[in-house]
Protein backbone atom coordinates (compact mmCIF):
# COMPACT_ATOMS: atom_id res chain seq x y z
CA UNK A 1 0.00 0.00 0.00
CA UNK A 2 1.37 3.41 -1.04
CA UNK A 3 0.70 5.07 2.32
CA UNK A 4 2.68 2.58 4.43
CA UNK A 5 6.02 3.92 5.65
CA UNK A 6 8.73 2.44 7.82
CA UNK A 7 8.84 5.63 9.89
CA UNK A 8 6.50 8.62 9.98
CA UNK A 9 7.95 11.64 11.78
CA UNK A 10 5.49 14.20 13.13
CA UNK A 11 7.01 17.69 13.42
CA UNK A 12 9.73 19.20 11.23
CA UNK A 13 11.63 21.20 13.82
CA UNK A 14 15.30 20.43 14.49
CA UNK A 15 14.35 17.17 16.28
CA UNK A 16 12.13 15.88 13.46
CA UNK A 17 14.46 16.97 10.64
CA UNK A 18 17.47 15.33 12.32
CA UNK A 19 15.42 12.18 12.88
CA UNK A 20 14.50 12.21 9.18
CA UNK A 21 18.16 12.50 8.13
CA UNK A 22 19.23 9.59 10.34
CA UNK A 23 16.21 7.45 9.40
CA UNK A 24 16.61 7.85 5.63
CA UNK A 25 20.34 7.13 5.93
CA UNK A 26 19.35 3.90 7.71
CA UNK A 27 17.48 2.94 4.49
CA UNK A 28 14.04 3.52 5.99
CA UNK A 29 11.05 4.69 3.94
CA UNK A 30 10.40 7.98 5.73
CA UNK A 31 7.62 10.57 5.73
CA UNK A 32 8.11 13.88 7.55
CA UNK A 33 4.96 15.86 8.37
CA UNK A 34 4.44 19.38 9.67
CA UNK A 35 1.41 21.62 9.85
CA UNK A 36 3.66 24.65 9.18
CA UNK A 37 6.84 25.44 7.27
CA UNK A 38 9.78 23.27 8.35
CA UNK A 39 11.95 24.70 11.11
CA UNK A 40 9.71 24.72 14.18
CA UNK A 41 10.65 27.33 16.76
CA UNK A 42 13.88 28.11 14.92
CA UNK A 43 11.82 30.03 12.38
CA UNK A 44 10.84 32.44 15.19
CA UNK A 45 14.36 32.91 16.54
CA UNK A 46 16.32 35.98 15.66
CA UNK A 47 19.91 34.91 16.19
CA UNK A 48 21.35 31.57 17.17
CA UNK A 49 24.84 31.65 18.64
CA UNK A 50 25.05 28.32 20.41
CA UNK A 51 24.60 25.66 17.74
CA UNK A 52 27.97 23.93 17.58
CA UNK A 53 30.06 24.88 14.57
CA UNK A 54 27.50 27.24 13.05
CA UNK A 55 28.77 30.50 14.58
CA UNK A 56 26.15 33.24 14.60
CA UNK A 57 23.21 32.80 12.22
CA UNK A 58 19.50 33.51 12.04
CA UNK A 59 17.04 30.81 13.07
CA UNK A 60 15.36 31.01 9.67
CA UNK A 61 18.70 30.36 7.92
CA UNK A 62 19.42 27.35 10.11
CA UNK A 63 15.89 26.03 9.45
CA UNK A 64 16.44 26.33 5.68
CA UNK A 65 19.84 24.61 5.89
CA UNK A 66 18.39 21.72 7.88
CA UNK A 67 15.43 21.33 5.54
CA UNK A 68 17.69 21.45 2.47
CA UNK A 69 19.77 18.70 4.07
CA UNK A 70 16.66 16.49 4.39
CA UNK A 71 15.74 17.18 0.77
CA UNK A 72 19.25 16.39 -0.52
CA UNK A 73 18.84 12.97 1.10
CA UNK A 74 15.40 12.47 -0.46
CA UNK A 75 13.18 12.77 2.64
CA UNK A 76 9.49 12.96 1.67
CA UNK A 77 7.84 15.97 3.33
CA UNK A 78 4.22 17.05 3.43
CA UNK A 79 2.26 19.89 5.06
CA UNK A 80 -0.17 18.06 7.32
CA UNK A 81 -1.66 18.58 10.79
CA UNK A 82 -1.74 15.26 12.60
CA UNK A 83 -4.90 14.94 14.67
CA UNK A 84 -4.79 11.32 15.79
CA UNK A 85 -2.34 8.47 16.19
CA UNK A 86 -3.56 4.99 16.95
CA UNK A 87 -1.60 1.88 17.64
CA UNK A 88 -2.64 -1.56 16.45
CA UNK A 89 -0.05 -4.32 16.69
CA UNK A 90 2.79 -3.71 14.27
CA UNK A 91 1.22 -0.79 12.36
CA UNK A 92 0.46 2.71 13.60
CA UNK A 93 -2.23 4.84 11.92
CA UNK A 94 -1.61 8.57 11.53
CA UNK A 95 -4.70 10.64 10.74
CA UNK A 96 -4.39 14.20 9.43
CA UNK A 97 -6.76 17.15 9.32
CA UNK A 98 -6.12 18.05 5.68
CA UNK A 99 -7.71 15.99 2.85
CA UNK A 100 -8.72 13.22 5.32
CA UNK A 101 -5.19 11.90 4.80
CA UNK A 102 -4.33 8.68 6.64
CA UNK A 103 -0.88 7.09 6.73
CA UNK A 104 0.38 3.87 8.24
CA UNK A 105 3.81 3.31 9.66
CA UNK A 106 5.79 0.60 11.39
CA UNK A 107 7.22 3.25 13.72
CA UNK A 108 6.36 6.84 14.59
CA UNK A 109 8.63 9.56 15.93
CA UNK A 110 6.77 12.36 17.70
CA UNK A 111 8.69 15.64 17.53
CA UNK A 112 5.84 18.14 17.87
CA UNK A 113 7.56 20.58 20.24
CA UNK A 114 5.73 23.16 22.30
CA UNK A 115 3.58 26.29 21.80
CA UNK A 116 3.75 29.58 23.73
CA UNK A 117 1.66 29.73 26.91
CA UNK A 118 -0.77 32.63 27.42
CA UNK A 119 -1.52 34.70 30.52
CA UNK A 120 -5.31 34.56 30.24
CA UNK A 121 -5.86 38.16 31.37
CA UNK A 122 -8.37 40.72 29.99
CA UNK A 123 -7.35 42.20 26.65
CA UNK A 124 -5.05 39.32 25.70
CA UNK A 125 -7.41 37.60 23.28
CA UNK A 126 -8.56 40.95 21.87
CA UNK A 127 -5.03 42.07 20.97
CA UNK A 128 -3.52 38.66 20.17
CA UNK A 129 -1.47 38.91 16.95
CA UNK A 130 -2.61 42.52 16.61
CA UNK A 131 -0.53 44.23 19.28
CA UNK A 132 0.48 41.19 21.32
CA UNK A 133 3.08 38.93 19.75
CA UNK A 134 4.95 35.79 20.74
CA UNK A 135 7.69 36.25 18.16
CA UNK A 136 10.06 39.22 18.10
CA UNK A 137 11.75 38.16 14.88
CA UNK A 138 8.39 37.92 13.08
CA UNK A 139 6.86 41.13 14.42
CA UNK A 140 9.68 43.17 15.99
CA UNK A 141 10.27 45.31 12.90
CA UNK A 142 6.77 46.79 13.25
CA UNK A 143 7.92 48.41 16.50
CA UNK A 144 11.04 50.16 15.23
CA UNK A 145 11.34 53.50 17.11
CA UNK A 146 8.29 52.59 19.22
CA UNK A 147 7.73 51.46 22.80
CA UNK A 148 7.20 47.83 23.76
CA UNK A 149 6.57 45.78 26.88
CA UNK A 150 8.00 42.28 27.24
CA UNK A 151 6.28 39.88 29.65
CA UNK A 152 8.57 37.24 31.20
CA UNK A 153 12.10 36.93 32.49
CA UNK A 154 13.47 33.60 31.22
CA UNK A 155 15.88 32.89 28.37
CA UNK A 156 13.44 33.64 25.56
CA UNK A 157 12.26 36.89 27.20
CA UNK A 158 15.78 38.15 27.77
CA UNK A 159 17.20 37.10 24.38
CA UNK A 160 14.30 38.62 22.50
CA UNK A 161 14.40 41.77 24.67
CA UNK A 162 18.03 42.35 23.71
CA UNK A 163 16.98 42.20 20.08
CA UNK A 164 13.91 44.42 20.58
CA UNK A 165 15.75 47.00 22.71
CA UNK A 166 18.09 47.48 19.76
CA UNK A 167 15.25 48.66 17.52
CA UNK A 168 12.71 50.18 19.94
CA UNK A 169 12.98 53.52 21.75
CA UNK A 170 11.84 52.09 25.08
CA UNK A 171 11.49 48.54 26.38
CA UNK A 172 9.86 47.60 29.68
CA UNK A 173 10.12 44.09 31.12
CA UNK A 174 7.36 42.94 33.46
CA UNK A 175 8.11 39.61 35.07
CA UNK A 176 6.64 37.36 37.76
CA UNK A 177 10.03 36.74 39.38
CA UNK A 178 13.46 38.28 38.76
CA UNK A 179 15.30 37.64 35.48
CA UNK A 180 16.12 33.91 35.41
CA UNK A 181 17.92 33.76 32.05
CA UNK A 182 21.60 33.10 31.35
CA UNK A 183 23.49 35.60 33.62
CA UNK A 184 25.58 36.95 30.72
CA UNK A 185 22.45 37.78 28.72
CA UNK A 186 20.80 39.36 31.81
CA UNK A 187 23.85 41.59 32.35
CA UNK A 188 23.79 42.65 28.70
CA UNK A 189 20.11 43.56 28.93
CA UNK A 190 20.43 45.43 32.23
CA UNK A 191 23.16 47.62 30.69
CA UNK A 192 20.95 48.75 27.80
CA UNK A 193 19.96 52.41 28.41
CA UNK A 194 16.39 52.15 27.13
CA UNK A 195 15.41 49.13 29.25
CA UNK A 196 13.40 49.20 32.52
CA UNK A 197 12.80 45.99 34.44
CA UNK A 198 9.91 45.42 36.88
CA UNK A 199 10.45 42.10 38.69
CA UNK A 200 7.86 40.37 40.94
CA UNK A 201 4.82 41.67 39.07
CA UNK A 202 1.47 40.21 38.07
CA UNK A 203 -0.05 41.37 34.79
CA UNK A 204 -3.65 42.55 35.30
CA UNK A 205 -4.76 43.59 31.82
CA UNK A 206 -3.86 44.88 28.38
CA UNK A 207 -5.64 48.10 27.49
CA UNK A 208 -6.54 49.74 24.19
CA UNK A 209 -9.30 51.10 22.01
CA UNK A 210 -8.55 50.77 18.30
CA UNK A 211 -5.01 49.52 19.12
CA UNK A 212 -3.18 48.29 22.20
CA UNK A 213 -2.11 51.22 24.38
CA UNK A 214 -0.66 49.79 27.58
CA UNK A 215 -0.24 47.16 30.28
CA UNK A 216 -1.53 47.36 33.85
CA UNK A 217 0.26 45.28 36.46
CA UNK A 218 0.76 45.09 40.20
CA UNK A 219 3.57 44.10 42.54
CA UNK A 220 3.37 40.64 44.08
CA UNK A 221 5.19 42.03 47.13
CA UNK A 222 3.27 43.20 50.21
CA UNK A 223 2.80 46.77 48.96
CA UNK A 224 0.89 45.45 45.86
CA UNK A 225 1.63 48.74 44.07
CA UNK A 226 -0.22 49.03 40.77
CA UNK A 227 1.51 50.47 37.70
CA UNK A 228 0.49 51.29 34.17
CA UNK A 229 3.00 51.45 31.30
CA UNK A 230 1.99 52.78 27.90
CA UNK A 231 3.24 50.93 24.83
CA UNK A 232 2.71 50.29 21.14
CA UNK A 233 3.14 46.53 21.38
CA UNK A 234 3.63 43.61 23.77
CA UNK A 235 5.76 40.48 23.46
CA UNK A 236 4.88 37.55 25.75
CA UNK A 237 7.44 34.93 26.78
CA UNK A 238 5.97 33.06 29.76
CA UNK A 239 6.75 29.50 28.84
CA UNK A 240 5.25 26.91 26.57
CA UNK A 241 2.64 24.13 26.46
CA UNK A 242 3.31 20.71 24.97
CA UNK A 243 1.77 20.03 21.52
CA UNK A 244 0.55 16.56 22.40
CA UNK A 245 -3.24 16.63 21.90
CA UNK A 246 -3.07 14.23 18.94
CA UNK A 247 -1.47 11.45 20.94
CA UNK A 248 -2.25 12.17 24.61
CA UNK A 249 -4.64 9.21 24.67
CA UNK A 250 -1.78 6.76 24.05
CA UNK A 251 -0.78 7.15 27.69
CA UNK A 252 2.78 8.21 26.93
CA UNK A 253 2.68 11.78 28.32
CA UNK A 254 3.11 13.11 31.86
CA UNK A 255 0.75 15.59 33.56
CA UNK A 256 2.34 18.52 31.68
CA UNK A 257 1.66 16.82 28.33
CA UNK A 258 5.32 15.99 27.67
CA UNK A 259 6.35 12.56 26.39
CA UNK A 260 8.11 10.26 28.82
CA UNK A 261 10.87 8.56 26.88
CA UNK A 262 13.89 6.55 27.96
CA UNK A 263 17.49 7.30 27.01
CA UNK A 264 16.87 5.65 23.59
CA UNK A 265 13.81 7.90 23.10
CA UNK A 266 11.44 4.92 23.40
CA UNK A 267 8.00 5.51 24.93
CA UNK A 268 6.03 2.85 26.79
CA UNK A 269 4.30 1.97 23.46
CA UNK A 270 6.54 -0.22 21.26
CA UNK A 271 7.28 1.53 17.96
CA UNK A 272 6.43 5.03 19.21
CA UNK A 273 9.33 7.34 19.99
CA UNK A 274 9.60 10.93 21.21
CA UNK A 275 12.22 13.57 20.37
CA UNK A 276 12.97 17.21 21.16
CA UNK A 277 11.11 19.76 23.28
CA UNK A 278 7.97 17.60 23.49
CA UNK A 279 9.81 15.11 25.70
CA UNK A 280 10.35 15.44 29.45
CA UNK A 281 13.82 16.99 29.61
CA UNK A 282 15.93 19.55 31.39
CA UNK A 283 17.40 21.61 28.52
CA UNK A 284 15.20 22.58 25.56
CA UNK A 285 17.58 23.74 22.86
CA UNK A 286 18.26 23.09 19.18
CA UNK A 287 21.33 21.00 19.87
CA UNK A 288 19.49 18.77 22.37
CA UNK A 289 16.50 18.46 20.01
CA UNK A 290 18.86 17.31 17.21
CA UNK A 291 20.49 14.83 19.57
CA UNK A 292 17.11 13.37 20.53
CA UNK A 293 16.14 13.14 16.86
CA UNK A 294 19.27 11.17 15.99
CA UNK A 295 18.77 8.75 18.90
CA UNK A 296 15.04 8.33 18.14
CA UNK A 297 15.71 7.54 14.48
CA UNK A 298 18.39 5.04 15.39
CA UNK A 299 16.04 3.30 17.84
CA UNK A 300 13.09 3.44 15.42
CA UNK A 301 15.14 1.91 12.59
CA UNK A 302 16.27 -0.91 14.92
CA UNK A 303 12.64 -1.46 15.89
CA UNK A 304 11.52 -1.64 12.23
CA UNK A 305 14.33 -4.08 11.43
CA UNK A 306 13.31 -6.24 14.39
CA UNK A 307 9.77 -6.55 12.95
CA UNK A 308 11.20 -8.09 9.77
CA UNK A 309 12.98 -10.90 11.62
Ligand X SMILES: Cc1cc2nc3c(=O)[nH]c(=O)nc-3n(C[C@H](O)[C@H](O)[C@H](O)COP(=O)(O)OP(=O)(O)OC[C@H]3O[C@@H](n4cnc5c(N)ncnc54)[C@H](O)[C@@H]3O)c2cc1C
- φ, ψ dihedrals at 114, nearest 5°: -135, 165
Binding segment toward ligand X, per CB under 6 A, in 14-22, 165-173, 199-207, 214-222: 14-22
Our CB check for ligand X shows the closer of 3 and 220 to be: 3
109 scored as a contact of ligand X (CB under 6 A):
no
48 scored as a contact of ligand X (CB under 6 A):
yes
Let me know: does 164 contact 187? Beta carbons within 8 Å: no
Let me know: does 175 contact 157? Beta carbons within 8 Å: yes
Burial of 219 (0-12, 13-18, 19+ CB in 10 A): middle
Instruction: By CB under 6 A, name the one of 64, 101, 204, 287 that touches ligand X.
Output: 287
Pairing of strands 102-110, 272-274: parallel
- Shortest spacing between CB 216 and ligand X, in angstroms: 25
Contact string (CB under 6 A) for ligand X, positions 146-185, x = contact: ----------x--xx-------------------------
- Shortest spacing between CB 207 and ligand X, in angstroms: 25
Our CB check for ligand X shows the closer of 79 and 228 to be: 79
Let me know: does 286 contact 14? Beta carbons within 8 Å: yes
296 scored as a contact of ligand X (CB under 6 A):
no
Q: How far is the C-alpha of 198 from the C-alpha of 195, rounded, in Å? A: 10
Other beta carbons within 10 angstroms of residue 195's beta carbon come to: 19
Q: By C-alpha distance, which of 7, 94, 8, 11 is closest to 289?
A: 11
Binding segment toward ligand X, per CB under 6 A, in 32-40, 171-179, 210-218, 297-305: 32-40
246 scored as a contact of ligand X (CB under 6 A):
yes
Cα distances (angstroms) measured from residue 246 to each of 14, 115, 257:
20, 14, 11
Q: How far is the C-alpha of 294 from the C-alpha of 274, rounded, in Å? A: 11
Q: How far is the C-alpha of 288 from the C-alpha of 9, rounded, in Å? A: 17
Our CB check for ligand X shows the closer of 66 and 214 to be: 66
- Shortest spacing between CB 24 and ligand X, in angstroms: 17
- Shortest spacing between CB 225 and ligand X, in angstroms: 30
Chain positions 54 to 93 lying near ligand X, rule: CB under 6 A, are: 81-82
Interface residues with ligand X (CB under 6 A) are 10-16, 33-36, 40-42, 44-45, 48, 50-51, 81-82, 111-114, 156, 159-160, 243, 246, 276-278, 284-287, 289
Amino acid sequence: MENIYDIVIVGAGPAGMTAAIYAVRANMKVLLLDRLSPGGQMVNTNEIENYTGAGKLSGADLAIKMFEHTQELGVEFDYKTVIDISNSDSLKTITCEEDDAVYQARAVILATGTVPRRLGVPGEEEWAANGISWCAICDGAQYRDKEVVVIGGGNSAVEESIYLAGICTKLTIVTMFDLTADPKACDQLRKMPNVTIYPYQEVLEFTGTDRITGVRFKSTKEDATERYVTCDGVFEYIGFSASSEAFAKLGIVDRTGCIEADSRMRTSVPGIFGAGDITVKHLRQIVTACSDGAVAANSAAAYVESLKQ
